[in-house]
Structure 1
């Protein structure tokens, strides 16, 4: 059994949550967790907190009765850290005060706008986060940390940190799994690609309708938008040709299409919400991305050509695909 420890990024509104923060930190450290997080926020500290979120195993958000300090964009630093953790797909658990209006007067938001932001954020967490626990006192927090953090690890296992004396056992396990994974992938590639041949052939002029999503920002407001876009198969092939003229990892399918969509997303968002000034987290729907790969393979425009030394599947344009892109460019 490997001796693992996990890194937890702790998000709070600020100094108003100092007693709660100390209880949670002391409890988690006694359980063997590494605790990260910033109590004082600033624009300069955002880059540091993002690196910590990227490196952590889990995120714990403590919400009392305040929205916290605002960033230059009008969104709270606590809120921004939560959004970033979501985009990085970090497992999140929330310990939320069950009756925020009953906390001491000095702990309440005095500004009506901040009070509304707090209420909206609280409702957002209740709607979006699977693991939300309502506490009423410091004793609740200690018990919640001891009871629910092990359950979060069970539901969302990660590698964590392993003691040096356990590394050789861990490495042997990894080497063994790599061999099994490589064998399984070879079999999987064969099984997955054969059914694609039953797809109908499409022409470069046919339209393909697909969905993508984004975060749209307007003054003091963020909304996740689901958009529908249409492109011809020829246009999609031309977009992919900027990367796949040489053998490249399969993950670049999403990267190159998302990069293209980023340049279109602001205008698409403004058609629905005219006051939107910025968009972020632009991403094609996974189902649409899968359909594009399948169709490119079925039409013999882009095809798998093996795996690299990291066992990533490699794809490359065929001669047929290259000739089509050349014709499209000269048209």
Structure 2
């Protein structure tokens, strides 16, 4: 290993910002940063938030991380189940290994500075170049690749499990010609740093930017912060979706995809706007991906054109979307060998690249397709599922938001109406459904496309409507309501009971052992169910403010307990 150097980066006042941050870390903050990073290094994924909460109290963890801010650690959620905590590059450099990592990054910049002086026409470098040029071990060069990606210390490149490559960042031209690069590195790392950036997903969404670089395209949509105290009609909200794929061989398929997106309140963006594959276009594509709400990748029989670094542009787009934490939805062809020869890779090298890329995509939320129409249908279903279970800020027209004067008038009108209602004594006329009436629940099921295929081969997400009476629904969650349970806990119970019921149906239909699967239901649906039961005075609500958000807990009222006893008595006598 090369000799370790002490990081001495400074800001304009002569002090290292990293050292200042280290100085103010609490023992628990330091412990969590190290734990998150060690988990990522060992498992190649960040730890689930619920796992961290289970080891310590949720409130303690949230309060601790809130003191760090979202530009050090942030809560995130990709296409896999559950939220997780992940570190930014600053967070990684604040771990116990951070000083060694900082030294490695300064040597990375020194290498690029030297290359700029000796061979300015060269822009692309592979992991092998840094392994040989810096004398790094295989493990060190792997870590360096992660740090470069996380710190965006490149102008593009590719990052895979076994290798990586970069295009030298433009800032290399502005580096000091001689001497230490510690200060320059800190400047690059902290250029977008905001100490007040929120950690939680909800708070970040409420602070989404009010303007967009995309305005010149005249789409007649502008981003509006979600904390505006106006209820915006959800039907007027649109979502920006980046569609990534090879182009010439998938023109018909892309038309079906674009049509599906337009039918699901989305603004499709992709190759049609960027027909030329070049370094300049790549800079623009990166910016568009950064602003999109969702990212779609389609894989068929072609790998696509290569960049100077030897990585295809489609794969570069995929890697960048993943690095930005965008919700990624993948679609792969069921049988690419059935495609015409003109739509297949013709070389062994091309086929190997395609297979490796397809395997990478399949590690994300993925669905198979076999025809353009089937692909369009799959995209529509997948996007609707993401809009329901993984909502993003979206875009609305600027003229859909009321100005401040109109808001004040509405507030005054509401106050006047409330005052008038207080003076009136009108008996309530609202009626609520009784126990024998049915309610329809929208359930998302992670199920098989074809149950005859081997387990784990062709999973898909489907949405079904499940009809159940109010009495049966109450009996499903009776155990949770007998003791005070949170809204999320009740949702979990409903989903678990429905999964067991649907599973028994599968066993009957197919007459054999059927692989178990999971169901999910939107929190908003469970909230409506519980509030309906509360309106019937069967359950009661308690709101707990933990300092960061409010959590609701539910349990039976005395009337609810009596109603439950009557239900069970009827069932037992039948």
TM-score interval for Structure 1 and Structure 2 normalised by the shorter chain: 0.3 to 0.5
TM-score normalized by the length of structure 1: 0.47
Give the TM-score normalised by the residue count of structure 2: 0.30
Structure with the larger strand share: 1
